């Protein structure tokens, strides 16, 4: 089972506050997907993927975003009577139930103004942060 990446109810939102030593980062998803999956141990789980696209110029929202933040939460498929601790996530495609990651994906664009044969290929840098849910 999976859900569409655009909400059917405009009042539904996925927001999170990520706490870093340097300050809080407020995450507000503009795309969300939920799918049923199996983690690396064979346990059924739900995978929630939320994305926040950011643009240096907010007036221009076509083409590739300048930065994409993504939260991926992998939650146990079975219900539990008690709270289960969250653990640091693993790098996709490996899934670990009850874990989470924050990814920051930055598009690298040529800054010399000269076109080259790679201009049509997006270049990316990806940072991964493990999430511990409180």
DSSP states of 53-81: EE-SSTT--SSS-SEEEEEEEEEESS--S
Specify the pLDDT at position 91. Answer: 82
**What is the Cα–Cα distance from 109 to 57, expressed in whole angstroms?**
15
Specify the pLDDT at position 117. Answer: 52
Q: Which phi and psi (to 5°) does residue 9 adopt?
A: -115, 115
CA 23 to chain centre: 19
Q: Which residues of the chain have pLDDT under 70?
A: 1-11, 57-64, 108-125, 132-134
Specify the pLDDT at position 68. Answer: 86
Specify the pLDDT at position 127. Answer: 74
Q: Which phi and psi (to 5°) does residue 110 adopt?
A: -60, 135
CA angle in degrees (0–180, nearest 5) for 90-95-96: 75
Specify the pLDDT at position 1. Answer: 41
């Amino acid at each position: 089972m999976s859900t569409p990446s655009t909400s059917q109810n405009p009042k539904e939102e996925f927001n999170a506050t990520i706490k870093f030593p340097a300050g809080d980062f407020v995450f507000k998803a503009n795309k969300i997907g939920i799918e049923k999956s199996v983690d690396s141990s064979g346990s059924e789980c739900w995978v929630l993927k939320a994305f926040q696209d950011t643009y240096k110029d907010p007036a221009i929202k076509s083409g590739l975003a300048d930065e994409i933040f993504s939260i991926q939460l992998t939650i146990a498929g079975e219900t539990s009577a008690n709270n289960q601790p969250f653990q640091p996530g693993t790098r996709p495609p490996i899934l670990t139930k009850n874990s989470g990651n924050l990814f920051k994906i930055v598009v690298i664009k040529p800054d010399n103004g000269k076109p080259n044969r790679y201009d049509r290929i997006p270049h990316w840098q990806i940072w991964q942060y493990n999430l511990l849910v409180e």
